Structure 1
Amino acid sequence: MATTEAVPGPAAVRRRSLLRPLAFTATLAVVLGLLFGVPWWSLVMAGNDWPVGVRVAGTVVFAVALVVFPVSMFLGHGRRVDWAARTGDTILGAVWILFVWAIAGDLLRLALLAGGVDDPVRSRVAAGFTAVVALGLGLWGYREAMRVPRVRRVEVRIPRLGAGLDGLKIVQLTDTHYGPIDRIAWSKGVTEVVNSLGADIVAHTGDIADGTVGQRTGQAAPLGDVRAGLARVYVTGNHEYFGEAQGWLDHMQQLGWEPLHNRHIVVERGGDRLVVAGVDDRTAAGTGLEGHRADHALALEGADRELPVLLLAHQPKQIDAAVEYDIDLQISGHTHGGQIWPFHYLVRIDQPVVQGLTRHGARTQLYTSRGTGFWGPPFRVFAPSEITEITLRAAER
């Protein structure tokens, strides 16, 4: 007997439309309450027995930060107001570091309790531990984020690579995130390091900027001075689709780069050839931009299937399609290596790899960079940035 599914009536639809924003607001309130409340309690209240003035001052600082944070994030990233983005991002990074180490401080408090140490000494020692470690890591993390990245060198053996291409050097940039903090000097420093490496191919695997071309032209300008013996290639990341993806593709072409917008080129050295292909970010299809989607078939259309293939794809999650299309090496970014420890555990829920060289299937390898720049909070804690030098090696004879 045929059955029919009940169609929700107008009242049910209205209830759902009301519940969704309420659920979102409640979830946000809980997250913010924990993020700000845990360090407030550990540092200011608990069993510290601080003078009243200290407790009041500490409470006011956390309360003001709690109010300023969502407003500045909305203005900064919703309305693209740079000063607000700088404020919100800095608060986010600082409170995340405090939250993590306040939990560690609470564990120390429990250990001291087990050891017979009474309050207020017990809680003051735990609070002091949290404050000193968080401050130290914050200052160090800021320096790590703002410095020109170190070079990370990796060798990848490609069995199908011809002898003429043995030793081919690829320099990867990714997640530069030119944004509300003006980093023109940093960008020039990155270009100087890249040019010192004598790359055959320089590849930028997306998230070039947070903002439009007009907003970030100055920071991106040094990319026009990058040198490569055979090719400079670029693909979009998810953040391009928050702004103007096509604008960045066009601008990179004006700077002399090859935008691999679901297309490929072929490079040759010593009589052997390599296909260098690129696909749009996996989020591109959902943006509604005409012609923007991750299309491996289009990217490889007309390519000699006997040749080895280097694929640029922003997210490690795109590796499944690379395996399907017998790609030899995919290079990606997106994860930032977690950026601020221990956020990499959350990244791992969404992505198959956080950083480094991994194998997928019989042929395909994936290299995931920790990123050249940073997004949002100007901190990197236990997740250093990198300019990656990848040397391709032919099969052992």
Structure 2
Amino acid sequence: MSVEEAVVDAEPRRRRGRSRFGVILVAVIALLFGVPWATLVWSGNAWPAPVFIAGTLVVALVAAIFPVLMFRGHGRHDDRSARIADTTLGVVWVLFVWSVLGQLLGLVLALAGVPDPVRSRVVTASVLVISLILLIWGYTEAMRVSRVREIDVTIPRLGAGLDGLRVVLITDTHYGPTDRARWSRGVVDVINSLNPDIVAHTGDIADGEVPQRIDQASPLGDVRASMARVYVTGNHEYMSGAAGWVEYMTSLGWDSLHNRHLLVTRGGDTLVVAGVDDRTAAGSGVPGHHMDHEAALAGTDPELPVLLLAHQPQQITGAVAHGIDLQLSGHTHGGQMWPFHYLVRIDQPVLQGLSRHSERTQLYTSRGTGFWGPPFRIFAPSEITLLTLHTEK
């Protein structure tokens, strides 16, 4: 096949791909908005005609505007559009989930002999009250400075001189359309209060390029650690100028572990601290960026214990293959908004916490320090993690 024939043949495939995407997008939006509409407006509520018409028009209008705002906000980096779209997504997700669960309540009431419209109006009121409570609580959880989560990790190969090493992990700060410069300073104050030996940031630092988010990110320059401050890229960097973020973090005095390592030594014992690019890096088009464990560990003594930074838990397969002792990751946000947790587990081997993946290799997955998109955290609190490393006694 000639080049010209290949180009001609590729165009119909691209059109079919765009058509499929369009159909899926319309179906998802129809489902997300349609289920709450059916529960709150239609169903057996028997609302007066003006209420029914007004409710239907509002839902239809928001559903029509939502993808436009999402594209403008995240495609063109219009922060105002992004804030509206993200908040809308969070609200409709909660209404969708509790509308589905509300149908179970409706079934119970029906079996108990409660007739419509009383039955449907009880369901509607329950869905609205629960959703409002969860959204207020979830917003408060998202905006507060993360709580500290303390974890003890035993690493048998860790030398006695490094026993008690304090590693503070932050990840998924997602500096973005909502200005969280004050929140960022609060996070830094908490980190410094923990007297860390190592501070690690495992990526998804921001949604947007450095000039857009510099006010929110600049407090990271004030983070204090006695031995090292280290950073690796996440998947969102590859939509937000990864090379610029690597350079900026370096300018703040952090070691950007772009497929490389450094050594930390105390009491005559040494720990290899390595990092790899996110698994999406190779397909990002950013020159020289790809996940490369061999490069990250090149020249290290194989007898030394290794702490690896890798953004996604799914990268644990490479860690196991290369004999890593402990991998630190984020990416999952712990699900962020229940029950999105179950969808995350389709893609990732772990949702959050400490897990073992071979006789040698352990993984710690943070629920994330910030949030992405919807400014809500529901049954998935954010965290600043203090990991204390211990040698086997």
TM-score bucket (shorter structure): over 0.9
Aligned residue number for residue 173 of structure 2: 176
Kindly report which structure 2 residues correspond to 1:295-374, keeping only aligned pairs within 5 A, or say none: 295-374=292-371
Match among 161, 165, 185 for residue 182 of structure 2: 185
Matched, 1:258 2:255: yes
CA distance in 1, matches of 2:257, 2:10: 43
CA distance in 2, matches of 1:206, 1:75: 24
What's the offset of the Cα at 1:304?
1.0
Q: Secondary structure at the match of 2:152?
A: strand
Aligned residue number for residue 195 of structure 2: 198
* Closer, same or farther: CA 113–213 of 1 in aligned 2, 3 Å: same
Q: Write the deviation string for residues 14-70 of structure 1: whole angstroms up to 9, x where unpaired.
A: 543332222211111111101000001100110001122222222122112102210
Aligned residue number for residue 227 of structure 1: 224
Q: Secondary structure at the match of 2:173?
A: coil
What's the offset of the Cα at 1:12?
6.8
Match among 264, 278, 283 for residue 286 of structure 1: 283
Aligned residue number for residue 160 of structure 1: 157
Kindly report which structure 2 residues correspond to 1:72-151, keeping only aligned pairs within 5 A, or say none: 72-151=69-148
* Closer, same or farther: CA 13–242 of 1 in aligned 2, 3 Å: closer
CA distance in 2, matches of 1:11, 1:297: 40
Q: Secondary structure at the match of 2:288?
A: coil
Q: Write the deviation string for residues 291-332 of structure 1: whole angstroms up to 9, x where unpaired.
A: 100100000001111110000000000000000000000000
What's the offset of the Cα at 1:9?
9.0
Q: Which amino acid aligns with 1:158?
A: I
Q: Which amino acid aligns with 2:117?
A: P
Q: Which amino acid aligns with 2:23?
A: A
Q: Which amino acid aligns with 2:328?
A: I
* Closer, same or farther: CA 272–9 of 1 in aligned 2, 3 Å: closer
CA distance in 1, matches of 2:276, 2:10: 38
What's the offset of the Cα at 1:391?
0.4
Q: Write the deviation string for residues 88-129 of structure 1: whole angstroms up to 9, x where unpaired.
A: 100001100000000011111111111111100110011111
Q: Which amino acid aligns with 2:297?
A: L
Matched, 1:22 2:19: yes
Kindly report which structure 2 residues correspond to 1:357-396, keeping only aligned pairs within 5 A, or say none: 357-396=354-393
Q: Secondary structure at the match of 2:287?
A: coil
Counting matched residue pairs gives 389
Q: Which amino acid aligns with 1:220?
A: A
Aligned residue number for residue 5 of structure 1: none
Aligned residue number for residue 30 of structure 2: 33
Match among 47, 50, 60 for residue 47 of structure 2: 50
Match among 31, 51, 62 for residue 59 of structure 2: 62
Q: Write the deviation string for residues 126-180 of structure 1: whole angstroms up to 9, x where unpaired.
A: 1111000011101100000000000001010000001111110000000000000
Q: Secondary structure at the match of 1:331?
A: strand
Structure 2 residue runs of 5 or longer lacking an equivalent are none
Q: Which amino acid aligns with 1:259?
A: S
Q: Secondary structure at the match of 2:38?
A: helix
Aligned residue number for residue 270 of structure 1: 267
**What fraction of aligned residue pairs are identical, expressed as a percent?**
64
Q: Which amino acid aligns with 1:18?
A: R
